[in-house]
Every structure is written in structure tokens, then in C-alpha cells.
Structure 1
Amino acid sequence: MADGLITGSRPSVRNEVSAATPLSRARAIVDRLPWWAQVLLIFVASRLVSTALLLGFAGAQATNPWTVSRPDYASFAKIWDGQWYYIVAQIGYPSVLPLTADGHVAQNQWAFLPVYPVVTRGLMELTGASFAPTAVFVSVLAAAATALVFSRILVRFLPAGSALFGVLLFCVAPLSPLLQVAYAESLFLLLLAVALLLLLQRRYGLMLLVLAVASFTRPGVIAFALALALHWGHRYLRRETEPFPPRERLKVGVVAIATGVFGLAWPVVAAIATGRLDAYTATELSWRADYIGYGHLLPFTSWVQGANWWVPGGAGVVFLVVAVVLFGLFLVTPWARRLPIDLRFWVVAYVLYLLAVFFPQSSTFRVLMPIFPLLGALAVPRSKVFRVSLVAVFVIAQWIWLYYCWWVNGYDWTPP
């Protein structure tokens, strides 16, 4: 490896042998493994940590709307949105939207896209296994594959050891327990990582096929169309130093438009299936009704509404502005600028998408997971103290997130 995973420098083979400590011998063995084995070793170790945390909370879990007290791992991994994916896998989507007592669209399956439950159902049919363990298996397998693909992205701009540390950050990130529960995040992150790698490789046609599947896995692919538009503009401006011939301009433009169409496909499917044009958006808006009541989706207003709901009196809006400014400043730091411009285009496009349509609540942390390429920026510093401290903070944050967002403690208004 070009540098050490934690320390940032790799001792010579002679020093490793002369030290003859168990740690140095173990490290020498790991260093001789192929890159994919090193990534999977990190992934497996991180899953042991997250599994221990999840089992600890499951052991303390009281009876709740989804499970009995002290549920087994698979049952505990199927709560919250996992139950909605279970419903989709079992019965599909309603042709008639359910309504509340006052005539508004109620929460229903149309908010949960079909690829993940369909893949899970297919494996259930093949193996005879039940939904929960099969869904967890799909998530874990997809997460492992994501770690492998993310490694291939990181080595394009980081030394090998720093790239491995970036993978470690992905595997132990505060919301990494979601990589092993009945949620579609793992599968979506895999498809997104593959699409980003293909974008960096300029393999636009294959990338479009991946995005087509992703558009029916989780919302957000529409943001990739904006990222591609930024990519097109950047390549055009730099056409004197990096050739961007007319034929390729046309290809990227067509792929960007097609990606936008795919990003809007699921709302169209919902409209056709239910006979109601706003079937999907009305369904999504039902989840914020408990906060601000029912209303219409007005782009770029949800965060202002959320800021005023969480911190009334204008202070919330000030906090929102400060957060956006600080995020923008981070993107121009030397660490973030180590990321390829296309990765930064994706991050900017996705954050703009969230600012346009998402209402901030406890699941905000989850919907921010697709900006995981920024972990590559945190892998730039080689300080041992920084790296060890960051991993420790991430693991502690896992416990905090599980306590406040996953574990069901009485009346719980912090869904993950």
C-alpha cells in the first residue's frame, strides 16, 4: 500500500520483521492480501461492530408496533420502513390510494420504490426463506459490493492506504447500521457508486443502464441529471485542454436528458396505476403532515418550513443559512478539492435536490447518505490521532443514532 491505513506511513519490511510484534505481523499479512480482500476484511470487521450494537438494542427493545420484546436480529432489522418494503414484497402497490378521515392521501406503499422488495421477493421464492433475513442478506451483500466499488473510486485520487481509510469511514459511518437492515439504502448506494465510477471512466452508456435501475430503487436519480449537466458544461469549457468532440457532447446531453426522464418515471408509474396525477407526491407529503399538516409541494420551501418548525422565531432559518454556507465552504477546502470534480458535481446536485423537495426531520441523516463520496475528503489527512479519533467518533455516533432513531422507546417521533 502507498501509505498506512491509520498511521499514514508504511514501515519497511525489514522494520516489520524486526519488530516481530503480533500487531506488526498481522499488518504484514494484511498488506500482502489483494485489495479486494483488504476491503472485505474492513467490511466484515465493521459489521461485527454494528451487529453488536444492533443486538444490544434489540435485547433492550420493548414490545412495539413491529415486534415483541427482545426480538431476534432479523425481526429488529425489519422495523420502520422495513415493514413497508415487506408489504410491497408481499402484495405490491394499491391501485386506489388510501385516504385519511378528512380526505387526504394517507401513507402507503407508493413512497417505496420496487427494485429492493422485488429482488428480495425473488430470493425468497428461490430459497424459501422469509422476508426479514432475505432482506438483510440483500442489504449486506449490496453494502459489501459498495465498499469494493467505493475503493475503486478512491484509488483514482488517493494513495492506496488513504483509500482504504476512506472505505473504513464508509463502513463505520454513523448510519452504517442501515447497511444491514431491511432498507433499500445499501442497494441504492451500490448502484450510485457504480454510476459514479462509470462517470469517472466516461462510460456513459453503461452508466445510463445503471441509473435506470437506480431510478426504481430510491428517489434522487433526478439529481444525477443535474450532475451530468454540470459535467457537460465543465467538459465544454475545458474542451481546449480535454477534447470534447461534438459526437460526445451529443451523447452526454442525451444521457443527461434520459437520466432526468428516468428520475421522473416512478411518479408517472404511480399516476398511471392509480389514476391520480399527484399520487406519488401526495403520498410523500403525507409523511410530513404530522409536522406541518397537509399542503402542496413548493420547491425550496420545505427547509424553510422545517427550520421554522424546529426552531421558531427565525432562528431556525438563520441556522439553515449558516449550515448551507458552511457546507459550501467545506466543498472548497483542500481536502474536498482532492475529490474529482464529477464527484463534487454529484454532491452539489444531490444537496440541491434535497433542498428543493425534502422536509428536514429525523430521517434527514439517512437521506444524506448518497453524499458518501465526501468521505474521501476526510481520508486525506494522514494524522494518526485524527484518523483514530474520527473512527471512534463515528462508532459512538452509531450508538447515538440507534438510540434516538432506530430503537423504539415508547411514543417515538424520530423515525430513521
Structure 2
Amino acid sequence: MVERALIAPPRRGWRTLPAALRIGILYVAARAVTTGFLILAAALAGPGSRFGQDATIGSFLLGWDAQWYWLIAVGGYPTELPLTETGEVSENQWAFMPVYPYLARIVGLPFEALAWTGAPAWGVGAVVVSIVAGYLACLVLYRMLRMRIDVPAATWAALFFAAGPMAALFHVGYAESLFLLWLFLSLWLVQRRQFGWLYILIPLMGFTRPGVLAFALFLGMYGIWRWICRRRDALPARQIVHIVALGLLAVVVGFSWQVLAGMATGRADAYLATELAWRRTAVSGDGFVPFGGFVEGTALWFGRIWHVGEVTGYVVLAASVLAVAALLLFEPHLKRLGVETRLWVASYLVYLLAVFFPQSSIFRLLVPVSPVWGAIALPRSTAYRVSVLAVCLVGQWWWIYNMYALGNTAYWTIP
């Protein structure tokens, strides 16, 4: 028996494959499904769609906000803010950060020779960056979750992420994939208590898309938690210095774009005025007030659109905040993910409440809480996990159909 065991060939199978290969296979399969959905949506696009009846998958990939990134890549940022007929700042490039468009431009340079195909070189580079960064984000998410949960659960969580309702973001010319890569790397390093690379990752996050102020809040909460637990979990002075310095760096990076926009345009409020231009069609309020966007949005949705009453909306909003807080504090599957993940989710949701105006983009903006897929994947039932995957795919098609096949510009159907 012993001799047979010694000479028996090594076991082969799915679980024996390297993690990078397993996640890669799942990611490629998910991208194939999403591509099919996009092709079908292009075939279903009608005259009411912003993409027209002759829509193609290429027009989808480089549509919506990808056009703003294209303008940045080829022309940079305006030094004079565009104004509406009433003298208010209109939508412009300052709402979008520079890392993604310029990286896409660099990656697209080798594809200049493909101009004869009708695909702009920058567009090819943008799609390549999104797809590659998406795979790497899936892999890092898997590594993050493996520190807390077993291999099957972490693998299913990565699959849910790769095939989730927002999976089209891994294809289109948006900065989300790249931001998620920097974010997951940063959270993983905090879990491992290896802080050095964060001095590079935080600026990369901050200049890829908005959200680094949420990471500053996360670092502050993480530092408080480590201080409270220092008797049972040692907190060396070196780590205190890193946590404080990185938190300050995240704050500086988070506000630096406003300063740069102001210096370039001569208007101190250039960035905030640009951001507010996108919500002007929905609300008439002027200026930015923290948490004001959600208050105004709740009144709009529950009062003027759904006609169920503003007070009802405020009650629902408050109840939702309390419910999420209770889940993060007490739900056993979420607790399995570790305090770092829960603190990040709480920090990011507070950030959204503080700065965002709720409309259909909320689904896209919730993607940074994707580590929660680890908790969703924990129940061991295969039937349950397959059902979750099916719901993910249904949600993905629903989002693609509404945002691209229908694709009008109403504020409740904007990706």
C-alpha cells in the first residue's frame, strides 16, 4: 500500500491548477458571455437609443463616459471651462482623472496600424487596459479573500465578480477596472500589513477615478481599530507611522485634483462646478453640501418620480443605513471576511452618501464593495452558488440592455 502510494501519479484536476490559471479560465469564460450580451444588445438597439439602429459592439465599448476619456487622451483638459447659455459650468473633462486615458493612449500606440479597421488606436488601448486590469483585479480579489475563506468560496467569489451585473465594465472604456486593481492591491497589502507599496498605489488610485478619500477614511478607521486592539494584536511604532502617513497622503491626493483644476482654469471651484453640472438636470440646488445629494435625490425619487412621499423616502434611507451598519457589525458571513474588508465597505458607503447624487450610476459606483462577494460565496451548497451566478448573469443582461440597447440619456438610465 505504501509503495503504491509513493509511485502513484500526482492527482490532477481543477483544484490543482495554479490560481492564476483557474481565475484566468473563469475570467475568459465570463468575458465571452459578456461579449455575447453586448453583441445581442447591439442587434436590439433601436432608433431611441443614443447609439442608433446601426449600433455595434465597438460603439458600446467607446460610448458614454469613454468619450470623455478619449477627449482627455487626445486633447488634455480645458484651461477655460465651457459654460451653458445661462453662464453655468457645463460638463467637461475635469470630472475625469488622467491615469486611465493616458495609459490607454500609451497602450494603444502599437495599434495605430489598425486604423484601417475603423477602430481608433486609443479605443483599442482603452479596451485592452480594461480587460487586463479586470483580470488582475479578479486575481487580487481571490488572493485577498483566500486570507479569510477557503479555496472554493474564494474562487466562486471571483467568478461572481467577473460575471456580475456590472461585468460590462471589464470591456468598456471606463476607468473602473484599473481603479479596482489599485484598490484591491491596497486592501490586500493592508491585510498583510505591508504598507510600503501603498505610497505608490494611493496616488494611482486618486488619479484614476474619484474614491481615494474613502480610502483615507478607511485608513483612519483601521488605525483606530488597531489602536483599540493593540493589547491583543501588537501595533509597532513603525506601523503607526505608516498608517498615519498614508492616511494623510490619501487626504492630500483626494483634494489635490480640485487644486489642480483650479490652478489650470483660474476657478477655485472648477472641479466641484463640473461635477455638479451632471446633476443640474435633476435638481435645481446650487453648490455642494456633504450628504446633500442623497437628501435631494431621495426627495426626487420618492416625491416627484415614484409619488410615495418624501418622508417615506427619508425613512427608507435611514432604515437602509441602519440595516447596512447592522450587517457589517453582526452578519457572520461578512465577519468571516475580516475587519479590513468591513471597514472598507463602511468607509466607501459613507463616502457615497456624502458626495453622490443617487441615480442609475449607483450600480456602477457600488462595484468597489465587491469584496462582499466573498461573504455571498460562503454557503457551500452548489445549487445555491449556481443560483447566485444565474442571478448575476440576469442582472448583467438587464444592465447592458437598459444602458446600451435602450441607451437613452434620462438620468435613471445612465451607466
| TM-score normalised by length of structure 2 | 0.90
Other structure's SS at 2:202 match: helix
Distance 1:201 1:378 in 2: 23
1:31 aligns with one of 5, 15, 31: 15
Distance 1:29 1:237 in 2: 45
Structure 2 residue aligned with 1:196? 187
**Cα contact 1:286–1:294 (8 A) shared by 2:** no
Question: What whole-Å deviation, never above 9, does each CA across 1:296-316 have from its counterpart, x for those lacking one?
Answer: 110112111101100112222
Structure 1 residue aligned with 2:386? 388
Structure 2 residue aligned with 1:257? 248
CA shift, 1:294, in A, is: 4.6
The residue correspondences of 1:11-30 to structure 2 (distance < 5 A) are 29-30=13-14
- Asked whether 1:62 is paired with 2:62, we answer no
Structure 2 residue aligned with 1:326? 323
Q: Sequence identity of aligned pairs in percent?
A: 38
Q: Which amino acid is 1:36 matched to?
A: A
1:165 aligns with one of 149, 156, 166: 156
- Asked whether 1:229 is paired with 2:229, we answer no
**Cα contact 2:51–2:59 (8 A) shared by 1:** yes
CA shift, 1:189, in A, is: 0.4
**Cα contact 2:60–2:404 (8 A) shared by 1:** no
**Cα contact 1:85–1:117 (8 A) shared by 2:** yes
- Asked whether 1:288 is paired with 2:272, we answer no
1:241 aligns with one of 232, 239, 252: 232
| TM-score normalised by length of structure 1 | 0.90
Distance 1:125 1:392 in 2: 38
Distance 1:255 1:76 in 2: 38
CA shift, 1:83, in A, is: 0.9
CA shift, 1:338, in A, is: 0.6
Distance 2:410 2:221 in 1: 41
Q: Which amino acid is 2:414 matched to?
A: P
Structure 2: tracts of 5 or more residues without a match: 1-10, 115-119, 304-308
CA shift, 1:266, in A, is: 1.1
**Cα contact 1:114–1:217 (8 A) shared by 2:** yes
Structure 2 residue aligned with 1:361? 359
Other structure's SS at 1:248 match: helix
Other structure's SS at 2:197 match: helix
CA shift, 1:97, in A, is: 0.4
**Cα contact 2:299–2:313 (8 A) shared by 1:** yes
Distance 1:41 1:125 in 2: 28
Question: What whole-Å deviation, never above 9, does each CA across 1:120-159 have from its counterpart, x for those lacking one?
Answer: 1112223315222221111000000101111110110111
Other structure's SS at 2:218 match: helix
Aligned-residue RMSD, C-alpha: 1.8
Moved over 6 A (4+): none
CA shift, 1:318, in A, is: 1.7
Q: 1:311 to 1:43 in 2, by over 3 A?
A: same
Q: 1:66 to 1:88 in 2, by over 3 A?
A: farther
Distance 2:295 2:226 in 1: 34
CA shift, 1:174, in A, is: 0.7
Question: What whole-Å deviation, never above 9, does each CA across 1:219-277 have from its counterpart, x for those lacking one?
Answer: 01011111111111111111111211233212211111111111111111111111111
Distance 1:66 1:305 in 2: 27
Distance 1:205 1:311 in 2: 46
